[in-house]
């Protein structure tokens, strides 16, 4: 079995936790930043999507094990469309 699906689940769960943090605390260090997640861990935080995505690929070359999100805080009812739950 390909464990990349398990890693995707970890990445999505972490993205949801970060999103919940952003909703609770608009002064979070993730607010207004791009967040790069690989293998269930935040590995990069930056100001631009292109930079974070490029650096994320250097940390983890398998895009199936990566997730990139913008730190804006999305209400829970809107998360399903984004995270595919």
- Quick one: which of 32, 33, 56 has its CA closest to 44? 56
Q: How many residues does the chain have?
A: 85
User: What's the predicted TM-score (pTM) here?
Assistant: 0.84
Answer whether 43's CB lies under 8 Å from 6's CB.
no
Condensed to tens digits (0 to 9), the pLDDT of residues 16-46 reads: 999 999 999 989 999 999 999 999 999 999 9
Q: Tell me what pLDDT residue 3 has.
A: 85
Q: What is the pLDDT of residue 1?
A: 47
Average pLDDT, the chain: 88
* Cβ(18)–Cβ(34) below 8 Å: no
Q: Which two tokens stand for residue 24?
A: 């609770």
**Residue 81 pLDDT exceeds 70:** no
């Amino acid at each position: 079995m390909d464990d990349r699906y398990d890693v995707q689940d970890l990445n999505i769960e972490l993205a949801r936790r970060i999103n919940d943090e952003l909703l609770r605390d608009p002064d979070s260090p993730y607010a207004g930043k791009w967040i790069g997640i690989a293998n269930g861990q935040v590995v990069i935080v930056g100001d631009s999507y292109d930079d974070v995505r490029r650096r994320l690929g250097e940390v983890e070359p398998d895009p199936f094990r990566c997730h990139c999100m913008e730190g804006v805080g999305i209400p829970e009812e809107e998360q399903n469309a984004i995270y595919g739950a």
